[in-house]
Amino acid sequence: MALLKKSSIWIAFLVALLGLPLLFDSILAISILNQMAIGIVFALSYNMLLGQGGMLSFGHAVYFGLGGFLSVHALMLIEYETMVFSILWIPLIGGLFGLLAGIFIGSFSTRKAGTVFAMISLGIGELIAASSLIFSSFFGGEAGISGDRTFGPTFFGFDFAQNIEIYYVAAVWAFIATLFTWLFTQTPAGRMANAVRDNPERAEFIGYSSRKVRFISFCASGMFAGIAGGLFALNYEFITEENLNAATSGRVLLMAYIGGLGYFIGPIIGAVVLTLMNSLLSNYSELWMLYLGIMFLLTVMFLPRGFAGFIMMHQVAWVRGNMKMLIKPYIITGIPALLFTACAIVLIEMSHTDDEVFHYLGLALNPASPITWIVILAIAGGAFYATKRSLIQLNDAWETANAIPKEEEA
Partner 1 sequence: MLEVLIFATLNGLVTGFLLFMLASGLTLIFSMMGVLNFAHASFYMLGAYFAYSLSLYFGFWTGLIFAPLIVGALGALVERYGLRKVHASGHVAELVFTFGLAFLIEESIQFFWGRDTKNYQTPDLLDFPLFTLFGQEFSAYRGFMMAISIGIFIALYYVLTKSRVGIIIQAAITHPQTVSNLGHNVPLIFMGVFGVGTALAGLAGVIAGPVLTTFPGMATVLGSIVFVIVIIGGLGSLAGAFIASLLIGLLQSYAIASDVGMPDLLNLLGISFDRSHPLNDLWTMNLPQIAPVLPYLLLVLVLIFRPTGLLGKREE
Partner 2 sequence: MAILSLIDVKKSFGITEIIRGVSLDIVEGEKHAIIGPNGAGKSTLFHLISGRYNVSAGSIHFKEQQIENKPPYEIARMGLARSFQVTNIFQRMSVFENIRCALFWSKGYGYSFWHLLGKQTELNDEAMHVLEQIGLADRAKFPSGELAYAELRALELGVAIASGSELIMLDEPVAGMSHSEAQNAVELIRKITEGKTLIMVEHDMNIVFDVADRISVLVYGEIIATDEPKNIRANSKVQEAYLGEVPSA
Task: Note the residues at the interface with partner 2 (CB under 8 A).
Answer: 183-184, 186-192, 194-195, 197-199, 201-209, 212-213, 216, 220, 262
Closest contact distance (angstroms) between CB of 136 and partner 1 is 6
Closest contact distance (angstroms) between CB of 224 and partner 2 is 13
Q: Which is nearer to partner 2, 124 or 220 (CB)?
A: 220
Residue 162 binds which one of partner 1, partner 2, none, with CB within 5 to 8 A depending on kind?
none
Angle at 120 between CA 116 and CA 121, to 5 degrees: 115
Q: Which is nearer to partner 1, 114 or 381 (CB)?
A: 114
d(CA 364, CA 351) in angstroms, rounded, equals 15
Q: Which is nearer to partner 1, 311 or 347 (CB)?
A: 347
Residue 207 binds which one of partner 1, partner 2, none, with CB within 5 to 8 A depending on kind?
partner 2
Q: Which is nearer to partner 2, 70 or 219 (CB)?
A: 219
Residue 165's nearest CA partner among 152, 155, 174, 180 is 155
Q: Which is nearer to partner 1, 10 or 108 (CB)?
A: 108
Instruction: Taking each helix axis as running N to C, give the angle between helix 370-402 and helix 323-350, from 0 to 180 degrees, rounded to the nearest 10.
Output: 160
Closest contact distance (angstroms) between CB of 294 and partner 1 is 6
Closest contact distance (angstroms) between CB of 212 and partner 2 is 6
Q: Which is nearer to partner 2, 73 or 191 (CB)?
A: 191
CB count in 10 Å sphere of residue 325: 15
Closest contact distance (angstroms) between CB of 199 and partner 1 is 14
Closest contact distance (angstroms) between CB of 187 and partner 2 is 5
Closest contact distance (angstroms) between CB of 199 and partner 2 is 5
Closest contact distance (angstroms) between CB of 27 and partner 2 is 40
Q: Which is nearer to partner 2, 207 or 370 (CB)?
A: 207
Residue 361 binds which one of partner 1, partner 2, none, with CB within 5 to 8 A depending on kind?
none
Residue 222's nearest CA partner among 244, 251, 241, 194 is 244
C-alpha atoms less than 13 angstroms from C-alpha of 206 in its C-beta half-sphere: 10
Q: Which is nearer to partner 1, 52 or 322 (CB)?
A: 52
Binding residues vs partner 1 (CB under 8 A): 50, 54, 56, 58, 108-109, 111-112, 114-116, 118-120, 122-124, 126-127, 130-131, 134-138, 246, 250, 253-254, 257, 287, 289-290, 292-294, 296-297, 300-301, 304, 348, 352
Residue 201 binds which one of partner 2, partner 1, none, with CB within 5 to 8 A depending on kind?
partner 2
Q: Which is nearer to partner 1, 59 or 68 (CB)?
A: 59
Residue 208 binds which one of partner 2, partner 1, none, with CB within 5 to 8 A depending on kind?
partner 2
Residue 192 binds which one of partner 2, partner 1, none, with CB within 5 to 8 A depending on kind?
partner 2
Residue 155 binds which one of partner 2, partner 1, none, with CB within 5 to 8 A depending on kind?
none
Residue 163's nearest CA partner among 20, 283, 21 is 21
- Which residues lie below 8 Å from residue 401, measured CB to CB, with a gap of 6+? 316, 317, 320, 322, 323, 325, 326
- Which residues lie below 8 Å from residue 146, measured CB to CB, with a gap of 6+? 72, 140, 237, 238, 239
Closest contact distance (angstroms) between CB of 183 and partner 2 is 7
